[in-house]
Structure 1
Amino acid sequence: MVEPRAGEITVYFYAILFARYPQVRQMFPQGMDAQRDRLLRALLRIVDLADDPESLVRFCGHLGRDHRKFGTLAAHFPAVGECLLAALARYAGPAWTLDIAAAWAKAYGTVAQVMISAAEQDEAVRPAVWPATVVHRVSRGHGIAEITVRPHITYEYAAGQYVSVETPWWPKRWRYYSAANAPREDGTLTFHVRAVAGGSVSDALVHRAAVGDVLQLGPPMGDMVLDAADHRKLLFVAGGTGLAPIRALIEEVAHRGGRHQVDLFLGARTGAELYAVDDMLRMAQRHHWLTIRAAVSHEHLPGIRGSLPEVLAEYGPWYEHDVFLSGPARMVVSAMETLTLNGTPPHRIHHDPFETPVLSTS
């Protein structure tokens, strides 16, 4: 009932939160648009998972651990719950009955407790943020920069996971980027960042960041990891800078001795937008188990032409494979539909959660 007015609800929620509890305002960035959108996606995700307790607990645990970087404390949760329920009540109108209010209060209490417990457990074993110095930067063209950082303290993550990043130029604005490499002995991480229109953080990273600058990293997140695969045959599909986590996963396969058969499809609108293809081809020359195909959808060139979902349908079926998808959400959704229609079981299709847009954030 309230979803059509969800944008208004989040504006009202933060307005009354800051009015009633002005001390929490300093935890948030000056510009609140991205924060409101993040809250909305989280709320919708929680409602979607109401009948899947295992996934709900996992998602809320991720939220709790990730919120440590904002300085969130257990004492903040009652204030947030009070204002959230007040916002829902205002926009639900007569539909907000005593029973509905009680159900939401109970649900919020459960979510809050899971988040608090996850944060407390996380605090016992690792920091909330990791300072990291930029040690290398190279332009990939077309608004893409490859940025390598070295965390000041050990940063443990798995290939395929994504990381929230804060720059010194936009305090409290965190954006998500996937690491483009499997864990290295020297501890460095490489990110592929595309500057997007109006994107303050991505623009700063692509055009302003230099060797010696210090960024802040949040905890690693995401379940699109190699251990999620049940089978030896793997299909990797990358659109645009979606290649970053896919590249990391391929490196992880190599580290484990190449015990998989890997098919990689790269896609872009034009040949010029197909970045890092040469790197991947050199990787395929070193590893006999890796096959690479590149496709463009909006330009007539020698080779494969079409969107990635179209090309997958042409070269399939892929029902014997575990599939990893990374790129624009529209491409991922379309590819999932194509794969399932052609026999790939949904539980073998892996991708980052849509409520945490890794590659399209600003």
Structure 2
Amino acid sequence: MDIPAMRASFAKAAAAGDEAPLFFYSHLFLSHPETRQLFPVSMAHQRDRLFQALSDVAAYVDDLDRLVPILQALGRDHRKFGTVAGHYPAVGASLIATLRHFDDRWDAALEQSWTEAYGLVAQVMIEAAEAASGQPPWWDAEVVAHERRGVDTAVLWLHPKPEFPYAAGQSVSLETDVRPKLWRYYSPANAPRPDGLVELHVRAYDGGPVGAALVRRIGAGDVVRLGPPVGHLAFDADSDRDLLLVAGGTGLAPLKALVDHVARAGPPRRVDLFVGSRTEERIYDRAALERLAAEHGWLTVTFAVSGDELSPLEQGDVGEVVARHGPWNSRDVYVAGPAPMVEDTTKRLLADGVRPDRIRSEVFAPSRLGPSLDGEVTG
């Protein structure tokens, strides 16, 4: 495969903006109308997902050790859409047609490269889906509690059936009948519990149909669906190093799950959790975090506000506050939240001497409806 040529070709299609996904889906639905049922009625929140996924594949196509495990997870995950092996050739044909349409220097060699790359992607995803055939494609989960934590934030407790296997730090996709066929990714805020309950933190964003429905329209007794868990934060449960956790917004959820994992499974270690917010009133889970700190002597929780000068809490961006409390060179570090916060915190920690391989991060981005291959998740 001519990987530089593939990346250049994809860049041309991506530069066309909405025209490229519009061409792709038009080609797919006209040539294979049976695939239309796999997608939501409104495609407004769907169109950019294909090209984000393709961008990730193009970026990592020469790093199979990294790409293959993620494709396997996507293959298992796509079972929830009703995707079967016979759908992959249709998607591949429309993909090639789209790339050809937007590349004025398209040739047979480039088409062969893309055909080989897509063939690899399809093969890995199909084999992973077949290997998971004994597992449910999704889990029904009853909402057993729904707590509003402000105008735009809610904490939900779900009871999936059958037993829902996942690990602290992973993410799960969720669908509701209020927004059918729109799957949105969230990270559980607790480690697996004996009673099977799953805690989700949800924030409603402008233009985010699923989050708004979960915050404002879903209540106790409603049933949602959960897709298979996928790995993102890559928690090293075997390490016994102390932890530094840095959260912004609902990026708190997977980090709270790590705290819960330490409390339930160990090994014993020191945990410092920093939670950043613009204002004090926006810290939506403060009471629960303070209760955890009171219950566990090994846990310290520090709140930071960046735009609330009257607050008695620590002042400054959370990355700045973390740096003031350092050094953190001996810690395993996990950072989750909005991209600017994750980038700023990571940069400060690296400048202070924390080893890059000790830092794991997850970006929570409201504009995305699913995970990218580099770990980005909406939440």
**Cα distance between partner residues in 2 of 1:16 and 1:341:** 49
> Is this contact kept in 1: 2:21–2:50, CA < 8 A?
yes
**Which residue matches 2:228?**
219
> Is this contact kept in 1: 2:167–2:191, CA < 8 A?
yes
Residue by residue, what CA displacement relative to the aligned partner does 1:187-246 show, whole Å, maximum 9, x if unpaired?
A: 111111111112211111111112111111101112424336645121111101111111
**Cα distance between partner residues in 1 of 2:351 and 2:236:** 25
**Which residue matches 1:243?**
252
Given the alignment, which residue of 294, 309, 316 partners 1:306? 316
Where does structure 1 lack aligned partners over 5 or more consecutive residues?
Answer: none
Q: Structure 1 residue 108 and structure 2 residue 127: aligned?
A: no
**Which residue matches 2:187?**
178
Residue by residue, what CA displacement relative to the aligned partner does 1:70-122 show, whole Å, maximum 9, x if unpaired?
A: 0111111111111101101111112x222111111101100110001111111
**Cα distance between partner residues in 1 of 2:177 and 2:190:** 24
The worse-fitting range, judged by mean Cα deviation, of 136-145 and 1-10 is: 1-10
**Cα distance between partner residues in 2 of 1:245 and 1:76:** 34
Q: Deviation at 1:8? A: 2.4
Q: Deviation at 1:42? A: 1.0
> Is this contact kept in 2: 1:231–1:322, CA < 8 A?
no
Q: Structure 1 residue 280 and structure 2 residue 316: aligned?
A: no
Given the alignment, which residue of 256, 271, 295 partners 1:262? 271
What SS does the corresponding residue of 1:13 show, helix, strand or coil?
helix
Residue by residue, what CA displacement relative to the aligned partner does 1:245-295 show, whole Å, maximum 9, x if unpaired?
A: 111110100112451211110000001001212211221122111111110
> Is this contact kept in 2: 1:229–1:322, CA < 8 A?
no
> Is this contact kept in 1: 2:277–2:283, CA < 8 A?
yes
What percentage of aligned pairs have identical amino acids?
A: 46
**Cα distance between partner residues in 1 of 2:347 and 2:126:** 37
What SS does the corresponding residue of 1:172 show, helix, strand or coil?
strand
* Superposition CA RMSD, Å: 1.7
What SS does the corresponding residue of 1:123 show, helix, strand or coil?
coil
Residue by residue, what CA displacement relative to the aligned partner does 1:300-321 show, whole Å, maximum 9, x if unpaired?
A: 1223111122222222232221
**Which residue matches 1:93?**
104
Q: 1:142 to 1:318 in 2, by over 3 A?
A: farther
Q: Structure 1 residue 38 and structure 2 residue 49: aligned?
A: yes
> Is this contact kept in 1: 2:61–2:117, CA < 8 A?
no
Q: Structure 1 residue 343 and structure 2 residue 353: aligned?
A: yes
**Which residue matches 1:210?**
219
Q: Deviation at 1:329? A: 2.1
1:64 aligned partner, one-letter code: G
**Cα distance between partner residues in 2 of 1:342 and 1:101:** 47
1:150 aligned partner, one-letter code: H
Q: 1:42 to 1:250 in 2, by over 3 A?
A: same
**Which residue matches 2:330?**
320
1:30 aligned partner, one-letter code: V
Given the alignment, which residue of 326, 345, 358 partners 2:377? 358
Given the alignment, which residue of 151, 161, 164 partners 2:173? 164
**Cα distance between partner residues in 1 of 2:170 and 2:272:** 20
Q: Structure 1 residue 51 and structure 2 residue 62: aligned?
A: yes
Q: 1:187 to 1:166 in 2, by over 3 A?
A: same
> Is this contact kept in 2: 1:145–1:194, CA < 8 A?
yes
> Is this contact kept in 1: 2:149–2:155, CA < 8 A?
yes
Given the alignment, which residue of 120, 128, 135 partners 2:137? 128
Given the alignment, which residue of 11, 17, 37 partners 1:26? 37
Residue by residue, what CA displacement relative to the aligned partner does 1:126-168 show, whole Å, maximum 9, x if unpaired?
A: 1101111111111111311111111121111001111111011
**Cα distance between partner residues in 2 of 1:33 and 1:332:** 28
**Which residue matches 1:187?**
196
1:140 aligned partner, one-letter code: R
Q: 1:293 to 1:258 in 2, by over 3 A?
A: farther
Q: TM-score, normalised by structure 2?
A: 0.90
> Is this contact kept in 2: 1:163–1:177, CA < 8 A?
yes
**Which residue matches 1:17?**
28
1:277 aligned partner, one-letter code: R
**Cα distance between partner residues in 2 of 1:61 and 1:6:** 28
Q: 1:229 to 1:88 in 2, by over 3 A?
A: farther
> Is this contact kept in 2: 1:6–1:40, CA < 8 A?
no
